[in-house]
Structure 1
Amino acid sequence: MFTKGSGKFDTLDVVRPGGRIERMDCPKQGIIPHDMVHYAVEHTLKQRGFLGRVKEGEAAGFHMEAEAQSDAVERLVEVFQGDAWSGGTTAAAEMMALYAVTCSARACPALPIEAKEIEAVRTAIEALTMQWQAVKVGHSLTLEL
């Protein structure tokens, strides 16, 4: 559950079975929260990244042990985040090339990704952006994993 804050942070509450909540601050970045971009990537592409690991029981925090698949998802999230900061219009081929370079620079195996998947994630990010913009300060947007 993402809650829109009035200051420099929004929050992400992970509601565990039984009702236990883990809360993370999400620094505002002018677009949807970083972990909401994770949701768009992981949910759309059916890939296991940060949120998938949290769903499996890992603690919701900023530091997780390195793992090939979730590291690859993190690099892809960064590419989509950068695209969103620049207006969300980067050509799919350029995004795939940037993703390959980013993974190579960090010695991380890239996930196979095609232009149609780039567009599907971008569509998901656009939908989440519209939903998030409609959320008032102090209110929440709940997403199911």
Structure 2
Amino acid sequence: MELVFTKGTGKYDRMDVRRNGVPTEAIDCPKQGIIPHDMVHCAVESTLHRRGFIGRVHDGEPASFQMQGDAESDGVERLVEVFQGDGWSGWNTPPADMLDLYLVTCRARACEPLPVRVDDVDAIRSCLLGLTARWEPLAAGESLTLQFERP
């Protein structure tokens, strides 16, 4: 599956989802000062080999915000939120603090946390920093294409 992220000129960027045999789906991604939310999903899901929003779309669900929750994708979503917060803080929160925040966030939302270790945080952050380095220099209207395949 291809995910094409395009920088917008206004309040939104865009993600186009291209799957074989399925019409392209587009999602408006509110700008948040870092890479798009769904790009963070790509990093988390591909690094941990977990099924969240992007994995569910890959498996055939429509790319919409009306998905029914499930334990694994809910755990992924909480972790994506923690990494977004890290990005807004400069991508330098100590990994142990991020894991603590993840557990607090999961408890607050009655969500089973995924088994995530400090090494996982470091690997995800490395992926996110690479994506950030590719995304930041793009001008409005330019795109970054990512391949997403489930193992």
TM over 0.5: yes
Alignment of 1:1-145 (within 5 A): 1-18=4-21, 20-145=23-148
Gaps of 5+ in 1: none
User: Percent same amino acid among aligned pairs?
Assistant: 57
Q: Which range moved further: 79-88 or 16-25?
A: 16-25
Q: Which amino acid in the other structure matches residue 64 of structure 1?
A: M
Task: Give the secondary-structure state (helix, strand or coil) at the position aligned to 2:121.
Answer: helix
Higher strand share: 2
- Aligned partners of 1:19, 1:49: CA distance in 2, in Å? 20
Task: Work out the number of aligned pairs and report it.
Answer: 145
Q: Which amino acid in the other structure matches residue 95 of structure 1?
A: M
Runs of 4+ in 1 over 2 A off after TM superposition: none
Measured after TM superposition, the shift of residue 72 of structure 1 is: 0.2
Measured after TM superposition, the shift of residue 62 of structure 1 is: 1.4
Give CA deviations for 1:88-124 in whole Å, capped at 9, x if unaligned: 1111110000000100111110001110110100010
Measured after TM superposition, the shift of residue 36 of structure 1 is: 0.2
- Aligned partners of 1:111, 1:130: CA distance in 2, in Å? 27
Measured after TM superposition, the shift of residue 63 of structure 1 is: 2.0
Task: Give the secondary-structure state (helix, strand or coil) at the position aligned to 2:34.
Answer: coil
Higher relative contact order (CA 8 A, sep 6+): 2
Q: Which amino acid in the other structure matches residue 121 of structure 1?
A: I
Give CA deviations for 1:26-70 in whole Å, capped at 9, x if unaligned: 000000000000001001111110000000000101121010000
Give CA deviations for 1:73-94 in whole Å, capped at 9, x if unaligned: 0000000000100111111110
- Aligned partners of 2:134, 2:15: CA distance in 1, in Å? 15
Q: Which amino acid in the other structure matches residue 47 of structure 2?
A: T
TM-score normalised according to structure 2 size:
0.94
Measured after TM superposition, the shift of residue 134 of structure 1 is: 2.4
Gaps of 5+ in 2: none
- Aligned partners of 1:33, 1:90: CA distance in 2, in Å? 19
